[in-house]
Amino acid sequence: MCDFLLGHQRSALHDIATLPLRPPCERLSGHKSSVCSRSYFVVVMVFFHVYIINVIALLFYVHYSSGQEDASRSRDAPGSNHQRPESRRPPSKAEFLRDVSLTRVEGIRVGHVQRLSLVPGKVHEMRTLSLKPLLFEIPEFLSDDECRVVMQLAQLKGLMESQLMVQEGQEELAKELNLSPEEIFNLLDINQDGQLQLHEVYVCLSVDCELYSSSLLGLYSSVFPGLLSLEEFRVLSSDAFQRFLVQRGVKRSQLVRNSRHTWLYQGKGAHQVLQDIKERVTRLTRLPSTLVDLSEPLQVVRYEEGGHYHAHHDSGPVYPETACTHTRMAANTSTPFETSCRYITVLFYLNSVEGGGETAFPVADNRTYDEVVRNSVRNCDKSNLRVKPTKGTAVFWYNYLSDGRGWVGEQDEYALHGGCVVTHGTKWVANKWINIDPDYQRQARFQQLVSQHSDTHQDL
């Protein structure tokens, strides 16, 4: 077809070229002027049609050639069976996670109220309590019946002691842990400089050495400001340290976390109330349900009269040599340092406390970070912010900042908090922590491993 069109074009051009030459039209007599005009019109129209025909022919040629080349590539492709190509495979969990951005609730300003739809037919109001840390309060998050069910389930399962210091008359904690003072010291000494800085002891609050470090925090700053050597550490690791504290007028109740706790599973097959709470937390935090599902179970804690918890962080900073506890299986590392990597804390008050028991945030919205106020619950009344335990109320805060790219950043030092002494009655609380690894590749590998394990288990 292309040859025919091109030949037709050449023939038309030849006919035009062989037209006899005539004098200019203006030299023709008046009765021949119309003939001249028609001749020029014919010439112009011929050129126009030839041009259009060439363009159409070229388009047909290009389209036909491209179709032939695509078909040839399809036939020559390895493994081709001339069937309709399959759609692009769905992205793996690791690829998907790279595109996930962790939504952070905006605080706007202290006192700002947001209206939330967390359960059908009800509107909750969430009030911003502080911006450093980003902290919110939601009254009536749980109903009275839900609070009752959670407490009953915890009692049915059984609560265990949450003592964070060895009692008088017991053996040294180092022997109980089967670790020497040198081994414990090296475990705490993150930068391995032979000295313990205060922040290194604080990190230990969130790892396995929590039992030991809590005995240091009571008077650490006043006794050993600055650095702590191995020799000084040896003294602290013995019963002599407890006697030393008593001589300084410190009561044992001020150094012990008096509480009992248990963990309640919230996955498939769990009590409906527990599953409902988990789903509500997912809507509250606006995070992917997978991250919430793979986090820790619900912790339920009971504080009797005199019970308290020193100011602490729920999660520690993550250094290159530190692994997150929940993604340890995907970290492929033998590092001895672990932290919980609790991105968000959601705390529920299961009852109203008669006296005391407030949740204190000593340095909330401070312009400068004060290290001294964190060391004892005796300073509870000096905290910048205290939340009174009210049945059904929930408070939640971020333990980490954003990295600016939609993922977990550095630890928020202002998330320091503690439980004030219960002066009258009993205090019941529940904690829902959402664990996310600041290294999103480790988090992605962890989710892949869990998914593969679940698929294998279902196949069996």
Pairing outcome for strands 260-264 and 298-303: antiparallel
The H-assigned helical ranges of 158-238 are 173-176, 181-188, 198-203, 210-217, 220-223, 230-236
Each residue's pLDDT tens digit, 320-350: 778 899 998 888 767 767 889 999 999 999 9
Strand partners, 429: 301, 349
Q: Of 240, 216, 239, 218, nearest to 228 (Cα)?
A: 216
| Domain 100-162+257-459 CATH assignment equals 1.10.10.350 | no
CA 444/CA 437 separation, integer angstroms: 9
The stretch 26-40 carries a mean pLDDT of 57
**If you compute the radius of gyration of the chain from its CA atoms, what whole number of angstroms results?**
38
Each residue's pLDDT tens digit, 141-196: 999 999 999 999 999 999 987 644 433 333 343 344 454 566 566 656 656 677 76
Residue 369 is predicted with a pLDDT of 58
262 contacts 159 by C-beta, under 8 angstroms: yes
CA 330/CA 333 separation, integer angstroms: 8
Each residue's pLDDT tens digit, 396-421: 999 999 999 999 999 999 999 999 99
Give the pair of three-digit tokens for residue 407: 């993922």
Q: Where are the domains of the chain?
A: 1-20+39-70, 100-162+257-459, 164-253
% helix, strand, coil for the chain, step of 5: 40, 20, 40
Least confident of 23-37, 154-168, 365-379: 23-37
CA 191/CA 80 separation, integer angstroms: 57
